[in-house]
Structure 1
């Protein structure tokens, strides 16, 4: 069926409301817009679905939600009666249409005989992961687009371990969606009726409290927080999202006395009116927090994204507030947790830390120097969750921290996804520890570099939108795979790791060994100076991500190399 035929099918479907029909009828004479909305369906993967809201197969809307949920329900039903009884936990964030999408997903599940627990209002993503494990649910659904701009929404899916869906289940849902009609396949019922019949039950404060007790238990050194509490100040912003309640509560329970929320951004609003993009990776979003921090003389700024799974941190030096990158925060937390837990006598006998192949290589050095086992997985906490399950089954290691460069951190055994609530609490505890030493987190980073070596990282994003975007992304990856660069920014490439095939190639020698993990479309170019360039397509946005991982004998040399390799990465964008 062509995109025009699909458009006509939607336009003539009785499933559309009058308002929806008007939206589609309004673009009748705009073939480019019609093609963009209908040229292909959103692809269901291990992260579920994510896209711009609107009508069409290539958009997030109530019909796509119904279709995906019906396929997901059928997967659970196929697991048997007990799986249906264990049911699903459902959550949403602050985004527009979040409540409607979440309740429709719950109603579809209920109509298929799958028991549902749904949060009474928006909640952080890590609390959904916790709820799945806490209640022994079979699966979970989260209506969220994480840190994407306001135009987006998404549908994240989880399995019984609280981690995102395994690949085989995601593939089965995708297959069922492909082989069924988006309008005729879903079985639904009235949401309120399902609640009255007990098919859907609410989650609320009891679940919050159970989650927070686990968060509190991660604190290592409350004494140092109490010691500095009269002077130590923290500014917090949830960027209009889910962290607005539980993050301040976690900080108060830690013992932070002087917490200053950014009131304009404590207002729940899916339009994110005070920021261009609610992404804690972008320092420009913190302008209100910085203004407040200067007024109250704050030592630390913490920001969480709309679904409160990622955290951004700024620390003060000489009156200015400096952003801490995701890689830097991961290394700070790891070093702090190692030393604090050893001092407290709570370090596991066989500790482990996890990160990803696109994150800083500094983490490996920290682990080597502190006798901590380290492994790097593919991007995404579902892969780290698989590794944790392996550790538990074998009983060989106990993890103390898992993180990735994109500002996500996980601690404790109660979640299997990145957790900005716990990370916010631990960032505050760590900052209090350094405050007691007369240092800021920026000073602490400098201390780490002197101890472990100098590293500098940057991620270069190459966006490829629209109908041609996917083809352009595939073409660039194919080109780099077939004709790898001999050098990057003037520095020779010494090895190429192709994580899709598992081949490790030395230029001139060919394949010399295999990668320890295989099966992801990632190219890793090792350079002669110990730096690297890693390239992969994004799993949630139409872009190629290029990770510059630089090393040097000094901070200046590491940064200079990073800048040079980032310029090379940007030059690839110009050649596309």
Structure 2
């Protein structure tokens, strides 16, 4: 259908508010704006919905949320036995429109006869995952756009295990949502109850989280060191402002200072350029707070930041001169080191233990874990694959130690099936307390690990693609003619995750890859390096991941720069 037809349908919709009509009237004279808003559908992908706020088929609004919810309700009634008894949990963050969208989704599900449990205020995404599991629900919805700018919002769907849906289930919901042609009509009257969830779930989560953290990291984090460790925490105007300080206090970290301005939930993120804990600027106010404390003789050693929906964590460490930000890979290595040390201290068996990471996350954990008998399992990019694999491990009676991804997502234990910024904050504090007992910091621990296992260095670049090409075409060109070398390093293996096989150079042996299909190519380099390329899910760009090793930090960093530059030249218009 044309954008003109869609605009007319929306303009005549019976459920428009006066504010909606005003917005549609305001853009009526702009064909470019109308084509942008009504010329395409906001697609329901593996991550659900995510888009700019505003009226239109390509934007996040209560009508596109209604459409997705109609598709989800149809999916539940057909494919999730017991949905009418088990219900669905809904959580939301402080973004603009989040509560309205949560209420809209609840009304649609209740009108379909599905009971709904909606949190009575903003909550972290990991709490939704926990609640689905704890309440035995058929699934869950989170209204959030994670760390996107304030003009965005989103809608994520979770399965009964508390994990994000895998592609086959997400595609089914997408098809059902596309078939929901009457989404502009108001939902019918509820025929199932809508319940409010309060602090009782928070308290249960905090109790279980305390037990988990003490079990997996508590032995190596002495209580006196916990109370001595100075921490500054910022919620970046998001949902972590209550639960992160609460769990740190329960664990005995009593020297915690909040960045007060950023522990006020606000979907406009007024003190931030980007509410992303990977962005160094996200720590500006935390560093200012820390320096104020230092001026009074109370230098904090650790700065922590969670993103708006509190599923990811960033950290900075005082190095004696300045605060140095850890990469997602570096923090993953430090958490693996801490959790493995805790098991060794308790004399727990390492037999059948597993660390999980994505294919673009650091390989440094392999020499750390595999000689001890700990298996390192790789998944495709996205924590949903780690969450799904956790269920398989549980069925096989394997011991899950930690899952992590380079984009600052971490999870231990069995409370959730998605990355958990609240837990990650607690584990990172325990790792820092462990270091403090030896009168060192986490950066020193990291340097010792580099000496033991090699200097690993990773880089991520987002490469724009010429308008003459689509990302898929650039990927196909690389697939058809992979290079023989990059920056002087021989390409020894080509892993094609879309074709589902790896080709070993020299003998042309093809080995199956036992992972779901994804448009991703990984070039394995002589000496242990890797280059991975995959299309961005949201922009006309390719993501380029470079991972190399070296005999020193400087050599590894230099190699990474050279390999990244050589890899850029593989793509059209990136010479």
Q: TM-score, normalised by structure 1?
A: 0.94
Contact 2:11 2:24 in 1 (8 A): yes
Partner of 1:70: 70
1:49 equivalent in alignment to 2:49: yes
Partner of 1:289: 286
TM-superposed CA distance for 1:39, in Å, is: 2.7
TM-superposed CA distance for 1:570, in Å, is: 4.6
Partner of 2:248: 251
Q: Deviations over 1:222-254 (max 9, x none)?
A: 674422245320000000000000000000011
Q: Deviations over 1:57-116 (max 9, x none)?
A: 111111000000011011112246622210100000111101100111111111110001
What does 1:180-329 correspond to in 2, within 5 Å?
180-181=180-181, 183-184=183-184, 187-189=187-189, 199-217=193-211, 218-219=213-214, 220-221=217-218, 224-296=221-293, 297-329=299-331
Contact 2:143 2:154 in 1 (8 A): yes
Partner of 1:31: 31
Distance 1:80 1:521, change over 3 A: closer
SS at match of 1:172: helix
Partner of 1:371: 373
Q: Deviations over 1:448-503 (max 9, x none)?
A: 111111100011113579xx79x622222222222223333343322210011112
Partner of 1:361: 363
State the distance in 1 between where 2:186 and 2:332 align: 43
TM-superposed CA distance for 1:33, in Å, is: 2.3
TM-superposed CA distance for 1:444, in Å, is: 1.1
What does 1:60-459 correspond to in 2, within 5 Å?
60-79=60-79, 82-181=82-181, 183-184=183-184, 187-189=187-189, 199-217=193-211, 218-219=213-214, 220-221=217-218, 224-296=221-293, 297-347=299-349, 349-395=351-397, 397-459=398-460
TM-superposed CA distance for 1:14, in Å, is: 3.1
1:556 equivalent in alignment to 2:550: no
TM-superposed CA distance for 1:439, in Å, is: 0.9
TM-superposed CA distance for 1:573, in Å, is: 6.6
CA RMSD of aligned residues (A): 2.1
State the distance in 1 between where 2:342 and 2:119 align: 35
SS at match of 1:221: helix
Q: TM-score, normalised by structure 2?
A: 0.94
Partner of 2:472: 474
- State the number of aligned residues: 566
| Worse-matched range after superposition: 384-393 or 147-156 | 384-393
Contact 1:63 1:182 in 2 (8 A): no
SS at match of 1:513: strand
TM-superposed CA distance for 1:34, in Å, is: 2.3
Partner of 1:534: 532
Contact 1:64 1:182 in 2 (8 A): no
Contact 2:502 2:510 in 1 (8 A): yes
Contact 1:67 1:185 in 2 (8 A): no
1:12 equivalent in alignment to 2:12: yes
| Worse-matched range after superposition: 26-35 or 120-129 | 26-35
| Worse-matched range after superposition: 422-431 or 24-33 | 24-33
What does 1:557-576 correspond to in 2, within 5 Å?
557-571=555-569, 575=573
State the distance in 2 between where 1:150 and 1:81 align: 37
| Worse-matched range after superposition: 360-369 or 440-449 | 360-369
What does 1:495-506 correspond to in 2, within 5 Å?
495-506=493-504
SS at match of 1:457: strand
Distance 1:508 1:290, change over 3 A: same
Partner of 2:296: none
1:486 equivalent in alignment to 2:487: no
State the distance in 1 between where 2:304 and 2:130 align: 22
Contact 1:459 1:547 in 2 (8 A): yes
TM-superposed CA distance for 1:574, in Å, is: 6.9
SS at match of 2:494: strand
State the distance in 2 between where 1:24 and 1:490 align: 57
State the distance in 1 between where 2:156 and 2:234 align: 24
TM-superposed CA distance for 1:508, in Å, is: 6.4
TM-superposed CA distance for 1:540, in Å, is: 4.9
SS at match of 1:353: strand
State the distance in 1 between where 2:129 and 2:195 align: 17
Contact 1:222 1:255 in 2 (8 A): no
Contact 1:504 1:513 in 2 (8 A): yes
Distance 1:10 1:573, change over 3 A: farther
State the distance in 2 between where 1:411 and 1:231 align: 25
State the distance in 2 between where 1:311 and 1:456 align: 20
Structure 2: state its 5+ residue gaps.
294-298
